[in-house]
Amino acid sequence: MKKIEHLNISERFAETFSLPKDMIANQTLIHMIGGTDLYIENYKGIMLYSCQEIVIKGFCCKIIICGKGLSIAYYSDEDMKVSGRIYEVKIDRNDK
């Protein structure tokens, strides 16, 4: 059993009831497959969209995707897929 003393209340709740921590604690998930597909779950909105840069507002950060021929293949209220040649993914935690 994992020690849960260092977790905050929402993380403890998720741990106790085996719930996804990202949804309970409003955390954004990023999954990258190769250098061409990036999946983002649990985000707030799209801040900037061009074929060279896409900026996504997460719950506690900004996700900056840089590349060539970038496009948002699909998006919904919960998740999105970014496609293209992805050269760099930056997380800016100063944006709250």
Tell me if 59 sits within 8 A of 51, measured CB to CB. Answer: no
How far, in Å, CA of 3 to CA of 15, rounded?
10
pLDDT at 10 over 80: no
Q: What's the pTM? A: 0.74
- Report helix, strand or coil for 5: coil
pLDDT tens per residue across span 18-52: 655 555 557 788 999 999 999 999 899 999 999 99
Tell me which of 14-18, 57-61, 70-74 is least confident.
Answer: 14-18
Contacts of 60 (CB under 8 A, 6+ apart): 26, 27, 28, 93, 96
Domain extent listing, the chain: 27-92
CATH classification code of 27-92:
2.60.40.2000
